[in-house]
């Protein structure tokens, strides 16, 4: 098979997972995710994704160091850097995604689970995809969070990311696990922040019951304050 054929086959597998689990999630969380498609990451979206990561990093660093938003001059310098040097650095940093890199793009029309095939070798397409159900549900759970919290366009700090990723992991790794076919495996190789987030979710649900899961996207800040006391 050609590379294009392998990509289409892989995207088809993800779309089938979306079609299988989206109705279950919509019923469980009482949301309408609309049409969700699987598609490959195109070059323009890749560059936008890299720039967005850079802008987010600049804002975090400035807030941490100076306790304020970047100045107009700093933003202007960043824009210049974007045009001149940052594209190359971003390409070098993000050109080789881990297998596989999924991105949930909730604000597009339609919403999309995007897969980066940049840097993939032909052998990557041959790797087992026994965790594909979990990975797809994880991205759909980000869309569920967006619908419940309505915070897609807000600036997000590290604590938000911990709770947001924790929610997606809890939904995909725990809450939806019994819906997966028997041959599906659940990936457990995640970063410390992701594990911390999932543990926060698990502790709250153990205390308040399974029905509390639906309220977390809208109340995580209150829960985070209580958990840190």
Measured distance CA(118)–CA(95) in Å, rounded: 6
What pTM was computed for the model? 0.77
Instruction: Name the pLDDT band for 45 (thresholds 50, 70, 90).
Output: low
Phi-psi region of 150 (alpha: psi -120 to 50; beta: other; left: phi over 0): left
Measured distance CA(14)–CA(78) in Å, rounded: 36
Residue 161, pLDDT above cutoff 60: yes
CA-to-CA separations, 155 to 25, 53, 73, 90, 109, in angstroms, rounded = 26, 12, 20, 21, 21
Measured distance CA(4)–CA(155) in Å, rounded: 36
Nearest alpha-carbon partner for 163 in 193, 189, 206: 193
Measured distance CA(222)–CA(199) in Å, rounded: 16
pLDDT, tens digit (0-9, with 9 covering 90-100), for 183-224: 998 888 888 888 899 999 999 999 999 899 999 999 998 888
Q: Where are the domains of the chain?
A: 3-228
Mean pLDDT of 47-60: 62
3-state secondary structure at position 209: coil
């Amino acid at each position: 098979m050609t590379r294009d054929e392998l990509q289409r086959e892989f995207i088809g597998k993800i779309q089938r997972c979306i079609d299988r689990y989206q109705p279950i999630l919509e019923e469980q969380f009482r949301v309408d995710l609309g049409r969700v498609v699987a598609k490959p990451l195109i070059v323009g979206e890749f560059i936008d994704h890299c720039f967005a990561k850079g802008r987010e990093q600049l804002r975090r660093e400035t807030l941490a160091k100076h306790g304020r938003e970047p100045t107009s001059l700093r933003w202007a310098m960043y824009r210049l850097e974007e045009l001149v040097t940052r594209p190359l650095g971003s390409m070098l940093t993000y050109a080789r995604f881990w297998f596989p890199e999924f991105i949930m793009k909730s604000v597009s029309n339609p919403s999309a689970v995007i897969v980066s095939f940049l840097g993939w070798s032909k052998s990557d397409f041959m790797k087992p995809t026994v965790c594909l159900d979990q990975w797809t549900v994880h991205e759909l759970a980000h869309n569920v969070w967006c619908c419940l919290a309505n915070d897609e366009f807000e600036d997000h700090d590290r604590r938000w990311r911990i709770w947001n990723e924790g929610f997606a992991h809890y939904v995909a790794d725990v809450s939806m696990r019994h819906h997966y076919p028997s041959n599906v495996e659940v990936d457990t190789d995640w970063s410390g922040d992701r594990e911390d987030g999932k543990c926060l979710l698990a502790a709250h649900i153990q205390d308040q019951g399974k029905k509390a899961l639906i309220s977390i996207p809208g109340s995580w800040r209150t829960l985070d304050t209580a958990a840190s006391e």
